[in-house]
């Protein structure tokens, strides 16, 4: 059974930091590209950050560059999103996404975790 379970979301003040985790199971984690998406109310889901399964540079949304860092630990089947200098506009549900390269039929979503940045 494929599972992607996000954790680490919550309420944080502007300028604060948060680290999201996504624990994966049920597939060969190391062969999959992993990504974080987010969706705010009234907005479309957008890519925040992505890390390849092997060689390659991480990708970041312009809004995340310099503040967010995606990383993965293949031994733990976990992908992380370190978020620093959080802003109110970062408020959204954050989703973990797994994608086998070049095969869109092998893609999985997590259930999402809420991140709220507010004073």
95 DSSP β-pair partners: 37
| DSSP letter string, 73-86 | ETTTTEEEEEE-S-
Structure-token pair, residue 7: 């954790």
| DSSP letter string, 10-64 | EEE-TT--EEEEEEEESS-GGGSEEEEEEE-TTS--EEEEEE-SSSS--EE-TTT
Give the SS3 label for residue 5.
strand
- Angstrom distance (rounded) from CA 77 to CA 25: 7
Mean pLDDT of 7-12: 98
- Angstrom distance (rounded) from CA 47 to CA 72: 17
| pLDDT tens digits, one per residue of 39-86 | 999 999 999 999 988 778 999 999 999 999 999 999 999 999 999 999
- Are 8 and 19 in contact by the 8 Å Cβ rule? The answer is yes
Give residue 54's pLDDT: 78
Give residue 98's pLDDT: 97
Confidence of residue 21 (pLDDT cuts 50, 70, 90): very high
Structure-token pair, residue 24: 């994966």
- Average model confidence (pLDDT) across the chain: 96
């Amino acid at each position: 059974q494929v599972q992607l379970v996000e954790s680490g979301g919550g309420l944080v003040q502007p300028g604060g930091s948060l680290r999201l985790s996504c624990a994966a199971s049920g597939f060969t984690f190391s062969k999959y590209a992993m990504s974080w998406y987010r969706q705010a109310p009234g907005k479309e889901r957008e890519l925040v950050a992505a890390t390849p399964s092997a060689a390659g540079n991480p990708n970041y949304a312009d809004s995340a560059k310099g503040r967010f860092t995606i990383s993965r630990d293949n031994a733990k089947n976990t992908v992380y999103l370190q978020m620093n200098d959080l802003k109110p506009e970062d408020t959204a549900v954050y989703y973990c996404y797994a994608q086998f390269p070049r095969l869109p039929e092998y893609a999985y979503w997590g259930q999402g975790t809420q991140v709220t940045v507010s004073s």
